[in-house]
């Protein structure tokens, strides 16, 4: 028995290996969630989610509310607002609401209705890992 469909697997397997919290199909939760771990949702959730990690909404997942996270991949239903460095709408996604992002990816087959707002990564309210060079970069003298 597989946990994820073939579309979810490529986006969610890494999160599960790193100890993701899962809201399983058949589970309905209402409230607020604050977490540092990844979160995978195959059930129903209504409320707000704050995470400094990755959130995935599986093909059977249904979320109504507000999300602030480092990254989010949606392959189910979402209604509300999201603020995230990266938002990815996978082929089975149906999203409606307000998306504030630094990087937005909408795959063929995804459905989106609403407002989008681009922001530089340093202006988002969520932490974003930045790559830093081992050696300071300098310009050659002319």
For the stretch 8-38, pLDDT in tens is: 445 444 444 557 899 999 999 999 999 988 9
Distances from the Cα of 19 to the Cα of 14, 38, 93, angstroms: 9, 7, 24
Instruction: Assess if residue 136 is contained within a domain.
Output: no
pLDDT of res. 101: 95
Instruction: Measure the CA–CA gap between 85 and 64, rounded to whole angstroms.
Output: 20
Question: Does residue 102 lie within any of the structural domains?
Answer: yes
Nearest CA to 60 among 10, 115, 7? 7
**Rounded to the nearest 10 degrees, how much is the dihedral formed by the CA atoms of 125, 128, 133, 137?**
-30
Residue 103 lies in a domain: yes
Task: For residue 53, tell me if it sits in a domain.
Answer: yes
The count of domains in the chain is 1
Alpha helix (H) ranges present in the chain? 6-17
Q: pLDDT band for 108, please (50, 70, 90 cuts).
A: very high
The distance in angstroms from the start CA to the end CA of the chain is: 64
Domain that holds residue 69: 6-25+32-122
Q: Quick check: helix, strand or coil at residue 132?
A: coil
Q: How far apart are CA 120 and CA 126, in angstroms?
A: 12
Which pTM was predicted? 0.75
Residue 137 lies in a domain: no
User: In the chain, what percentage of residues exceed pLDDT 90?
Assistant: 66
């Amino acid at each position: 028995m597989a946990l994820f469909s073939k579309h979810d697997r490529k986006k969610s397997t890494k999160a599960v290996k790193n100890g993701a919290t899962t809201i399983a199909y058949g589970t309905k939760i209402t409230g607020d969630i604050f977490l540092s771990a990844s979160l995978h949702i195959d059930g129903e959730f209504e409320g707000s989610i704050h995470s400094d990690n990755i959130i995935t909404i599986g093909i059977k997942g249904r979320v109504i509310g507000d999300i602030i996270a480092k990254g989010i991949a949606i392959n189910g239903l979402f209604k509300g607002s999201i603020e995230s460095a990266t938002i990815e709408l996978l082929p089975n996604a149906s999203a409606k609401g307000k998306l504030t992002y630094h990087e937005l990816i909408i795959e063929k087959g995804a459905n989106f209705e609403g407002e989008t707002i681009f922001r530089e990564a340093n202006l988002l309210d969520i932490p974003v890992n930045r790559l830093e060079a081992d050696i300071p970069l300098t310009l050659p003298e002319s």
